[in-house]
Amino acid sequence: MFSISEEHNDIVIRYRRDSSFNETMAMVLAQIHLQRQVKGSNGSTATDAMQKESLVRHLPRGIALLRDPAFNKSTAFSEEERKTLGLSGLLPPRVHTIEEQVQRVLGNLAKKSTDMERYVFLNGLQDRNSTLFYRVLQENIEQLMPIIYTPTVGQACLEYGHIFRRPRGVYISIHDKGHVAELLANWPMKDIRVIVVTDGERILGLGDLGADGMGIPVGKLALYTVCAGIHPNMSLPVTLDVGTDNTRLLNDPLYIGLQSPRVRGEVYDELVDEFVWAVQKVYPGALIQFEDFANRNAFRFLQKYRDAVCCFNDDIQGTASVAVAGFFSALRNIGGKLSDHRFLFLGAGEAGLGTGNLLVEAMQEEGLTEAEAREHCWYFDSTGLVVQSRDDLNEEKRRFAHAHPFVDSFKTAVEMLRPRAIVGVSGQPQQFSREVLEAMAQVNEQPIVFALSNPTSKSECTAEEAYMWTGGRALFASGSPFAPVQVRGETRYPMQGNNVYIFPGVGMGVLACGAKRISDRMFLVAAKAVAAAVSAEDLRQGRLYPPVPKVREVSLDVAVAVAKEAYASDLASCPQPDDLRQYIGELMYQPVYRSYV
C-alpha cells in the first residue's frame, strides 16, 4: 500500500492516493519514521519529528522569530541559536531555562489581583510564546483551568471587545457568504485537525454574546492541547458572526462583531452549510466541534451533519458523556446496572436530552430495547413533567414523554417516580430544595444528585445542601466547582462533571485513527474510560470523577477507547498501529523547546 525510503536526506513516501490514504497519513508516517530514527539517541518523540518537519519549512529569523509565538523561546534561545538565527543583540544576554521562565510567569500571575487580569496576561503569553504558555498550563492545570476556561472565560466573553488585543482564530461574518473557503485558507497553519466553531448565540449560561463568544472556541482548543496533547498548530477556533440580538452589544462602540440583529432562517443555514463544506475542502476530514449554538440549532445541525462529516456537539454529546461517566462511577458505589435505575432530569435542553439519549444507548447495550430504555429516563421542564398528554413538546422531548398524569411540582414528581438520580440541567438555581433532597433520601439509600447548571449561582443546589439534606448519603456532582464539605467528621470532595474529561480525549482518539464520523458509542466508551479512572479511594472521598491533575492520563485512556471503537466499527481511516496506546501517547504534544540549530 505504501513504501518509505530515504533519498538524499529526504524521507520519500510512495503511496496510492485514495479515500483511506492521503497526504495527512503520509505526513504522519513520515513523522513516525523520523521519530524512530531519532528516538533512542536523544529520547525525542513523534512531536519532535513533527516540529522538525515544520521547522524546515517555516522557521523565521531575527525579530520575526521573536514575534512568532509558534517558535519564540524568548530568553531561552541558546547562544548558538542567537548567532545562527540573527538574534544577537535582540535579547538580553542571560540565557534562561524554560523552568526559570515558568517561575517568572507564575510570579507575574500571583501579582495580578483578579482572575480577569490573569486571563488577559495568559492570553498575552499565548500570543508571545506558545510553548511557554502550554508548559505553564500543563504544570498548573488545576489552578489555571478556571482562568483559561470556566468560570473566568465567561467574564472574558462578556468583556471581549474591551479586553481585545490580538485576534485569534477565523471570524466568518454573514457578509462572507460565498467566500468562506477563502477565509479558512487565510489561517496560516495548514494541517488543521480540530475546529471548534460557535455562532455565539448561547455562550455558557450567558446568552447571546455574538462575536464576543470567540473566547469559548479559543479556550476549548487550549484545553484540547493541555489535556490531550493535540498540537496547537493543528487546531482552529472559528466564530460565525451573523449579528446579535444583545442590545448591550448593539449599543457598545467597542463590540467587535456586526452591529445588526441576528440573521436567521435560510440565509443563516446556508452560511453554516457553506462553512461545513468549506472545511471539507480546505482541511479535509478535520473534526468540527459545534459549540454554544442555541438549543434549536444545536440539535438540528447535529442531526444534519453527524452522518455527513466528522463532527459532534459538545453541549449535547460531551455533556452526556461526562454525566454518564458520573453515573457509572456512582454505580460502583451502589452496585447494579444503569437499567436497574430511574433517572429524572430537571431541564430538557441540550444537556438533559443529550444525556438521556446516551443513557438509552448504554441501557440498550445492557440488553434493553430502545423503548424500554426510554422508560427509565424522565424529564421535568419549565412547564412540568414531560408526559404524553402535553401538546407543547418538540420532537426531541416527545421521545421521552411517558403515559403518566401531568405534574407541575418537581417534588411531587420525585415522590411519584422515586428516581435513583436527579439531574439538574435547567439553568435555574435552587430547584433542588430541602424538600426535594429529603424526598430523594427517603426513597434511596444513596441518592444520585447532579446539580450541573452553571455558573455556581445557577446551581440547583450546593454540595453542602446535597449532603446536608440527604444525611450525608448523596452521590453528588456539580457543573461548577464546590469546596470540600465536612460530613460527619469526614471530608467529601464534590467533583465537577466537567466536559474537559471527555472532549479533548475524543478529539485525540478521532485524530489518531483518522475517524471519518463520530458515533454515540464513542461517547459511551469515553464515559466508561473516565469512570474506570476513578480510584476506590476517590470514590470513598465522594469523588465521582478523577482528580483534575490526572486529566492528561484520563484523556489518553479516552483517546485509546475512542480509537478502538472507531476501528471496531469501521469508522477509522488510518491503518491500526500495533500498540494504540503507545502510538497515541507519542502523538501527544509536549511543551518543550526544541533546538533550532
H helices, E strands: number in the chain: 27, 15
Taking the least distance from each CB to ligand NAD, the nearer of 136 and 533 is 533
Residue 49, CA distances (Å) to 33, 104, 134, 430, 508 in order: 9, 29, 19, 52, 18
Closer to ligand NAD at the Cβ: 131 or 454? 454
| Residue from 382, 389, 457, 491 in contact with ligand NAD (CB under 6 A) | 382
Q: From CA 86, how far away is CA 69, in angstroms rounded?
A: 17
Please report how close the Cβ of residue 345 comes to ligand NAD at its closest, in angstroms.
Answer: 9
Cα–Cα distances (Å) from 280 to 22, 29, 221, in that order, read 13, 22, 19
Closest to ligand NAD by CB, 319 vs 470, is 319
Q: Which is nearer to ligand NAD, 161 or 318 (CB)?
A: 318
**Through-space distance between the first and last CA atoms of the chain, rounded to whole angstroms:** 35
Count of residues touching ligand NAD (by CB under 6 A): 28
- 3-state SS string for 536-562: HHHHHCCCCCCCHHHHHHHHHHHHHHH
Q: How many C-beta neighbours within 10 Å does residue 38 have? A: 15
Neighbours of 8 (CB within 10 A): 5
- What residue type is assigned to position 492 of the chain? R
220: annotated active-site residue: yes
- Least distance to ligand NAD, CB of residue 477, Å: 8
Chain positions 73 to 132 lying near ligand NAD, rule: CB under 6 A, are none
Closest residue to ligand NAD, Cβ-based?
349
Q: Which of 134, 149, 467, 501 is catalytic?
A: 149
Specify the residue, 129 or 319, whose C-beta has the smaller distance to ligand NAD: 319
Among the listed residues 328, 343, 380, 476, the single contact to ligand NAD using CB under 6 A:
380
Report how far residue 287's alpha carbon sits from residue 280's, in angstroms, rounded to the nearest whole number. Answer: 10
Give the containing element (helix H, strand E) for 241: strand 235-241
- Dihedral Cα 111, 116, 120, 125, nearest 10 deg: 50
Cα 240 to its chain centre, rounded Å, is: 19
Phi-psi region of 576 (alpha: psi -120 to 50; beta: other; left: phi over 0): beta
Q: Report 394-433 residues binding ligand NAD (CB under 6 A).
A: 425-428, 431
Catalytic residue among 73, 220, 397, 550: 220
Q: Taking CB under 6 A as the rule, which mask of x and - marks residues 498-537 in contact with ligand NAD?
A: xx--------------------------------------
Task: Give the shortest CB-156-to-ligand NAD separation in angstroms.
Answer: 16
Minimum separation from the CB atom of position 500 to ligand NAD (A): 9
Q: How far is the CB of 346 from ligand NAD (least distance, A)?
A: 5
For residue 306, the 8-state DSSP code is T
x/- string (CB under 6 A) for ligand NAD, residues 281-310? --------------x---------------
- What residues from 317 to 336 belong to the interface with ligand NAD (CB under 6 A)? 319, 322
Question: What is the Cα–Cα distance from 46 to 216, expressed in whole angstroms?
Answer: 29
Residue 96 φ then ψ, to 5°: -105, 155
Q: Which is nearer to ligand NAD, 221 or 348 (CB)?
A: 348
What is d(CA 345, CA 424) in angstroms, rounded to the nearest whole number?
Answer: 6
Nearer to ligand NAD, 161 or 497 (CB): 497
Per CB under 6 A, 216 contacts ligand NAD: no
Residues 465-484: x/- map of binding to ligand NAD (CB under 6 A)? --------------x-----
Using CB under 6 A, which of the segments 76-84, 128-136, 247-255, 494-502 binds ligand NAD?
A: 494-502
Q: Rounded to the nearest whole angstrom, what is the least distance from the CB of residue 321 to ligand NAD in the complex?
A: 10
Q: 346-365: which residues touch ligand NAD (CB under 6 A)? A: 346-352
Stretch that binds ligand NAD, among 175-183, 302-310, 378-386, 387-395 (CB under 6 A): 378-386
Helix (H) / strand (E) element for 504: namely helix 503-513
Give min distance, CB of 226 to ligand NAD, in A: 17
Q: Residue 92, Cβ neighbours under 10 Å: how many? A: 9
Q: Are strands 2-7 and 10-15 parallel, antiparallel or unpaired?
A: antiparallel
Q: Nearest 5°: phi and psi at 149?
A: -125, -155
| 543 contributes a contact to ligand NAD by CB under 6 A | no
Distance CA 242, CA 209 (A): 11
Cβ 379 to ligand NAD shortest distance, Å: 8
Hey, CA dihedral for 318, 320, 324, 326, is it positive or negative?
positive
Determine the interface stretch with ligand NAD among 49-57, 191-199, 375-383, 523-531 (rule: CB under 6 A).
375-383
Q: Closest CB to ligand NAD among 196 and 322?
A: 322
| CA dist list (Å): 244 to 158, 173, 174, 199, 565 | 13, 11, 12, 9, 40
To the nearest whole angstrom, how small is the minimum distance from the Cβ of residue 250 to ligand NAD? 22
Are 358 and 374 within 8 A, CB to CB?
Answer: no
CB 493 within 8 A of CB 539: no
- In angstroms, give the least distance from the CB of 162 to ligand NAD: 24
Annotated active-site residue 149? The verdict is: yes
What residues have CB less than 8 Å from 325, skipping those under 6 apart?
Answer: 497, 501, 502, 526, 527, 528, 530, 531, 544, 545
Torsion sign, CA atoms 95, 100, 105, 109: negative
Nearer to ligand NAD by Cβ, of 260 and 456: the residue is 456
Which 430-459 residues touch ligand NAD, going by CB under 6 A?
431, 452-454, 458
Separation between Cα atoms, residue 213 and residue 206, nearest integer Å: 10
In whole angstroms, the minimum distance from the beta carbon of 316 to ligand NAD comes to 8
Question: For the chain, how long is the longest CA-to-CA vector?
Answer: 80
Q: Which is nearer to ligand NAD, 87 or 393 (CB)?
A: 393
Residue number with CB closer to ligand NAD (24 or 431): 431
* Segment contacting ligand NAD by CB under 6 A, of 122-130, 216-224, 492-500, 514-522: 492-500
Q: Residues 81, 199, 241, 381: which binds ligand NAD (CB under 6 A)?
A: 381
* Chain positions contacting ligand NAD, by CB under 6 A: 205, 295, 315, 319, 322, 346-352, 380-382, 425-428, 431, 452-454, 458, 479, 497-499
List residues with catalytic annotation: 149, 220
